[in-house]
Amino acid sequence: MSATGTAAARLTGARELGARRARGRLNHYRFAPLVLILVNVVLFAAFFAWPAVIGLVYSFTDYTGVGSFHFIGLSNYEQLFGDSAFYAALGRTVLFTVVVVPTSFVFSLLAANLMVDRFAKGKPVAHIILFVPWLISPIVSGVIWRWLFGENFGLVNFVIESLGGGAVPWQSNADLSLMVVVIAATWGGTAFSMLLFIAAIKNVPVSYYEAAALDGAGPWRLFRDITLPSIAPTSFIVILLTTLNAMKEYALFQSLNNGGPGTSNNLLVQYIYQTGFQQGQIGYASAASFVLMILLMVVALIQLTVNRRTERRR
Amino acid sequence: MNLTSRFRSISRRRRLLAATSIIAAGALALTGCSAGGGSTGDVKKLTLWLSSSAAQQKGFDQLSADYKKKTGISVDVVNIPYSGYAAKLHNAAQANALPDIANVPALDPIWKNKLIDLRSISGKSSNNINQSYVAKGTGGTTLAIPSDVTSTGLFINKSLWEKAGVTFPSSPDSTWTWTEFIAAADKVRESTGAKYSLVYDASPSRLRAMIYEMGGKYMQQGSDGKFSADSATEKAVDYFVGLNDDKTMPKSVWTSGADPSALFQSGQVAAYWSGVWQVSAFATSITSFDWASVPTPAQPVQAADVNAGGLMVGFDNSDAEGTAAKAFLDWMYEPAQYTKLAETNGYLPVEKGLDITYDFTSKAALDAFGLYNKELQVYKPISGYFLQAQVKWALEGKSFTTDPTVTEIGKAINGQQSSADAVKNIVAGYDKQVGK
Amino acid sequence: MTATTAARATRKQPSAPGTPTRPRTRTGTRQLGRTIRATTLLWVLALAYGFPLLWFVLSSFKPAGDLFSFPLSLLPKSWTVQGYIDAWSSFNFYQFFANTFLVAIVTTILTVVASCCTGYALAKYDNRWLKVFFVCILATTMLPTEVMLAPTFLVVRDLGMYNSLAGIIVPSVLTATGVLMFRAFFLTVPDELVEAARIDGARELAIFFRIMVPISRPIMLTLAIFSFQWRWNDYIWPLLVLNDPNKFTLQIGIQSIVGAQNINWSVLLGASVIAIVPLVLLYLVFQKYVMNADLNAGLKD
C-alpha cells in the first residue's frame, strides 16, 4: 500500500462517512459482514439446514428408522393435531415455562446484583456455590432432588412429619411434582443467566451511577432506573433462552419424575419421544418436532417484536 | 503510521484467519481413517462390544486374556454405557462400523442380515444349551445365543419377617400363592410398622411374571397378527393395580419412577419383586438387615419371566473376520470356558447340567443363586415366551422400541384410566409397533 | 445494589461544590446497613443453593449401604473414599480426561471466534440478509437436540467424520447462545466508536480485530466457560460418533456406571464429583478476569 493510497483512503473514508451519515446506518458494507459470518453460515448449512431438511422430508413419510418409506402427505400432521395427548403435553409445557422463566430470571438477577455489590462479603465462596449446580448432570440432579422431595424417604417430608404435619405427595401429585422440577430447574439454571447478567451489569458505565447517586438515589432506584434499562439486551436474551430451553426441557423431567405421575407431566419433547422415536414412528416424531419448532419460532418472534418496540422507545 | 497500522492489521487478520484455519484443518485431520474396511488375510484383532457393570466385564476380560494365550488373537473388550447402547449399534450399522462380536440387549432389524449363523454352536450336544432360550431365525439358523439368562424373583427383608414371626417357604416345591404371600407380607408390615408390604420394579417383565403365575399369557399375537389379552391377564392387571394403594405398595414407583431398589435397601419394606441381577448388588450394599430370596408364588402356574441377560452375536464384517468371530464364540461356549464365565460374572447359565461354584462371600447370595437355579428347572415354557417373541419381531423387521406397559399401568394406578382401558391401550401399543 | 458508585459518590462529596456535606457517622451507618443487608441476602441465597450440593458431596463419601438408609442422615456415619476409588478404576479416567480436554478446548476456541465475528456482524451491520441469518441462527435452538440426532449423524457420516474427534468438534462450533451474547454486547457498543475509527481510515475488518475484539474479552471469557461446560457434559453425541474406546469422552465413562438394571450410586456420585472438579478449577481462574474487568465500552478516555 503506497502513501498516496493511504491519503486516497482517507479521502474515500471521509466521503463515505458523509454519504453514510446521509443514509443513516451502516448498510452498504457487504464484504466485511460476509467474511465475518462465513464460518457460521457454512456450519449452519451443514449441521442444521441439511439435517432439518432430512427431518422435514421424513415428516411427510411413514419412515420407521429402517428400510424404505412411503410418502403419506400431511397425515402425520393431521394425526398430531387430533391427538389429545399432544394438547395435554402442550398445556403442561406452557404452564412449566410460564412458572420457571420469571422464577429463574428473578433469582439470577438477584444473584448477579449481589455478586457485583461491593458491600456483600464473602463473594468468592458464594460465587462457587451458586455456580456448581449448573455443572451437575441431570441424572445426579435427579437423585439430589428426589432425596430432598421424595415422598417416602425425602428430607422435606421427614422435616414436615417431625413437625407434626402429614407427608406431602411430592411425586404423586402432578402439580407438586411440577413445582419440584421448577425448583430443580431454577437451581441448576441460575448460574448461566447470572454470568450473563454479571457481564452486562459490569458493562454499565459507572458515570451513570455517579450522576444518579449525586441526586440522592438509593440502591433500589439505581437498580430500577439505571441497571435494568441498561442491561435490557441481556435481559432479553436471558428471557428468550430460558423460555426456549424450558419449552424443550426433557432430561430433568425424565430423571425427576419420568413424566409422571402417569403421564401428567409429559412435556412436548417427552411426547415426541414416547409417541415417535420410542415406537419407531420417525415420520410422526419429525412432524411433531417441526410443529414444536414453529411454536418456538412464534414465541421468539413475539419476544423479538416486543424487544424492538422497547428498544425504539428508549 | 497508517501504512504500518494497516499492514499490521492485515497481517494480524491474516494471522488470525490462518490460525483458525489451521486449528480447523487440524481438527478435520483428526478424522483419520474410519473403522471398517475388512482386512484380508490373518485376523489379529477382534472387537467385542458389551454393556455391563465393571464387575461383569471381568468375565469377558478373562476370556479375552485366555483366548490371546491360546490363539494369539487379541479380543478388544469395549464397554458401552447402557442408555445409548442400542442407538450406538444402530448408528454403527449405518456407518458400516459394527464390531465383530457383541453382547446385545435385543436384535435390531437394521443389522440382522449381518449376523453369523451360530447353529453349529447352539446345536452342539456337548454344550447342552437350553433350546427354549436360543434366538432362532428362519430356516433353522441360530441368530444369537444368550450369554446368560436372567429371571425375575422375589426378595424379602428376612429380619422383618422373623421379627413378625411370619413363615415363608424355602423351596419351589412348597411355594405359596399370591393371596397367601400378600396376606403374609401385610401381616409383617402391620406388626413391625414397616412402610410398605411390597415394592415392585416398574418393568413389564416383572408384571409379566405375575400374570404368568396367575394363569394369564399377557400379550399374545393371533394368527392374524393382531394382539389380544386373555381374561386371566385382565384380572391379574386389575389385581395388581389394586395392590398399589400406598399401603401395600407405593404408587410412586410405577407412576413417577421412584427407585424400588433404594426403597427396599432402606429396610422399610417387607418384600421386593425384582430379579437375579440384584443379588450381587445386595450382597455388598445391604448391611443393616438380613435379606433372602424366596420362591415365586404360583397361582396356580409356576413360572417367571426369563430372559436373556444379553445375546451373543457375531457380525460378518468380512470373510476373515466373520470366521474368526465364530471361532471365538465356539470356544467361549465350550463348557469349560462357559463355566468359568458364569462363575466370574455371577451368571445364571444357559447351558444345562453345569457345576458352578459362585464366588460370593455372602451366604444369602449363594442361597439365592441356588434357589434360582432350582426354580429354572421347574418353570413352565411360558416363561421364555417374550424372549422368543422379540426375536420373531426383529426378524419381521419390526422394532419394539418401547413397551407401553409401564406408562399405561402407571396411568391406571394414578387414576387416569381404568385397568381395563390400560390393557386395551397396551394392546394397541403392541399392535402399532409390532402388529401386522 | 451497585455499591461501587455509592462508594465513589461518598468519596467525591467533600470536593463537589454546592453539595451539602453529610456527617460521617450517618454515611458510616448507611454503609454498615448496606453491608449487612447485602451480605445476609447473599448468604441466604448461597445456603439455599448450597444445601443440596452439600448433600451431594457428603453422600459421595458414604458407603453404598448408607445412601438410602432410614432415618435420613446428612453426615456419613463412616467416611469412606471407596466410591472414588471404584470410580477412578471403573474406566480409563486419564485417557477420557485428555480426550474431553482436547475436544473442549478446540471447540471453545473455534466457538468464541465464530460467535464473536457473527455477533459483531449482526449487531453493527444493517442488511436484510443478515436479519434473515439471525432468525436462522435462532432457529437452531428450536429443534431439540434429541430430535436432530439421527439426521445430523447421517450428515457427519457422509462428511467422513465418523469415529473422529472432529465429528464432535465441528458440529458444536455453531451456537445460537454465543451469537446472541456477542450481538447483545456489541449492540451496547456505541456506533460513534466505529465511526471514529472509520474516519481514521481503518478498514472494516481491522476495526473489528483491533478494537472490538479486545473490548469484548469478558463476553469471550463467559462464552468460553459455557462452551467448555457444554462439551465437558456432552454425552449422547460423542457416544454415537465415536467407535474407538481410546477416543471416548468423560461422560461416556460416567454413564457406563449407570447399569441396565441398577445404579451403583456411590460410584456414580464419586465419578460425578471427580468430573466436576476441573470445571470448578477452570471457573475459579476465569471468573477472576470476568469479575475484575472494568469495561466502559471505550467511552472513557
Residues C48, C197: one domain? no
Residues A22, A150: one domain? no
Residues C202, C244: one domain? yes
Contact criterion met (CB below 8 Å) for A182 and A96:
yes
Chains in touch with B (≥3 Cβ pairs < 8 A): A, C
Count up the domains in chain C and report the number. Answer: 2
- What gap in Å lies between CA A297 and CA A264, rounded to an integer? 25
pLDDT score, position C35: 84
The answer as to whether A105 is a domain residue is yes
B219-231 pLDDT, tens digit per residue, is 888 888 889 899 9
Topology classification of domain B45-149+308-361: D-Maltodextrin-Binding Protein; domain 2 (3.40.190)
For residue C222, give how far its alpha carbon lies from the nearest alpha carbon of chain B (Å). Answer: 20
Residues C135, C227: one domain? yes
C4-24 pLDDT, tens digit per residue, is 443 333 333 343 444 444 455
A279-291 pLDDT, tens digit per residue, is 677 888 889 999 9
Residues C139, C230: one domain? yes
B197 or C287: which leads in pLDDT: B197
Which residues does residue B157 pair with via DSSP β-bridges, in sequence order? B291
> Which residues, 6+ apart, have CB-to-CB distance to B319 below 8 Å?
B38
Residues C133, C274: one domain? yes
Residues C249, C103: one domain? yes
Residues A50, A193: one domain? no
pLDDT score, position B14: 57
Residues A55, A84: one domain? no
pLDDT score, position C3: 41
Count up the domains in chain A and report the number. Answer: 2
- What gap in Å lies between CA C72 and CA B394, rounded to an integer? 46
pLDDT score, position B12: 53
Nearest-5° angle of CA B40, CA B45, CA B51? 125
Domain that holds residue C119: 92-292
Residues A49, A131: one domain? no
For residue B291, give how far its alpha carbon lies from the nearest alpha carbon of chain C (Å). Answer: 13
With an 8 Å Cβ cutoff, is A32 touching chain B?
Answer: no
pLDDT score, position C286: 80
* Regions of chain B with pLDDT less than 70: 1-41, 397, 399, 401
A171-205 pLDDT, tens digit per residue, is 778 888 899 999 999 999 999 999 889 888 887 88
CATH architecture of structural domain B151-306+381-434: 3-Layer(aba) Sandwich (3.40)
C105 or B174: which leads in pLDDT: C105
C289 or B201: which leads in pLDDT: B201
The answer as to whether A221 is a domain residue is yes
The B residues from 224 to 283 touching C (CB cutoff 8 Å) are 259, 261-263, 265-268, 275, 277-278, 281
| Contact (CB<8Å) C256/B28 | no
> Which residues in A lie closer than 8 A to residue C45 (C-beta atoms)?
107, 110-111, 114, 126, 130
**Where do we find the cell 450473563?**
A196
Tell me the percentage of chain C whose pLDDT exceeds 70. 83
Domain that holds residue A34: 1-59
So what's the ipTM on this one?
Answer: 0.78
Tell me the percentage of chain A whose pLDDT exceeds 70. 88
The C residues from 98 to 117 touching A (CB cutoff 8 Å) are 113-115, 117
The answer as to whether A72 is a domain residue is no
pLDDT for A208 beyond 60: yes
Cα atoms found within 13 Å of the Cα of residue C65, Cβ hemisphere only: 12
pLDDT score, position C258: 75
Mean pLDDT of chain C: 80
State which of A11, A26, A59 marks the end of a domain.
Answer: A59
pLDDT score, position B31: 44
C170 or B37: which leads in pLDDT: C170
A147-171 pLDDT, tens digit per residue, is 888 777 778 888 888 888 887 888 7
The answer as to whether A67 is a domain residue is no
Which member of A111, A153, A297 has the closest CB to residue C70?
A153
With an 8 Å Cβ cutoff, is B401 touching chain A?
Answer: yes
The answer as to whether C41 is a domain residue is yes
pLDDT score, position B86: 86
pLDDT score, position C65: 67
Residues A83, A122: one domain? yes
Which residues does residue B351 pair with via DSSP β-bridges, in sequence order? B129
pLDDT score, position C291: 67
Q: What is the DSSP letter of B245?
A: S
With an 8 Å Cβ cutoff, is A262 touching chain B?
Answer: yes
Q: Which of A35, A54, A151, A152 to mutate to test the interface with B (most CBs of B within 10 A)?
A: A152
Residues C228, C287: one domain? yes
pLDDT score, position C290: 67
With an 8 Å Cβ cutoff, is A10 touching chain B?
Answer: yes
Query: Chain B residue with minimal CA distance to C236?
Result: B84
Residues C161, C33: one domain? no
Q: What is the DSSP letter of C247?
A: G
The answer as to whether C112 is a domain residue is yes
C240-276 pLDDT, tens digit per residue, is 888 888 888 888 888 877 766 667 778 888 888 888 8
> Which residues in B lie closer than 8 A to residue C164 (C-beta atoms)?
30-32, 34
Residue contacts between A and B (CB atoms, under 8 Å)? 95
C129 or A30: which leads in pLDDT: C129
pLDDT for C78 beyond 70: yes
The answer as to whether C252 is a domain residue is yes
Residues C106, C66: one domain? no
pLDDT score, position B236: 92
Determine the average pLDDT of the residues in C59-77: 74
| Phi-psi domain of B355 (left: phi exceeds 0; alpha: psi -120 through 50; beta: other) | beta
Chains in touch with A (≥3 Cβ pairs < 8 A): B, C
Domain residue spans of chain B: 45-149+308-361, 151-306+381-434
pLDDT for A19 beyond 70: no
| Rounded CA Rg of chain A | 26
> Which residues in C lie closer than 8 A to residue A136 (C-beta atoms)?
56, 272, 276
Residues A55, A151: one domain? no
pLDDT for A3 beyond 50: no
Residues C59, C100: one domain? no
Residues C216, C259: one domain? yes
pLDDT for A20 beyond 60: no
Residues A158, A14: one domain? no
How would residue A23 be classed by pLDDT, with cut points 50, 70 and 90?
Answer: very low
**Where do we find the cell 448468604?**
C43
- What gap in Å lies between CA A60 and CA A79, rounded to an integer? 12
Residues C188, C264: one domain? yes
The CATH number assigned to the domain holding C117 equals: 1.10.3720.10
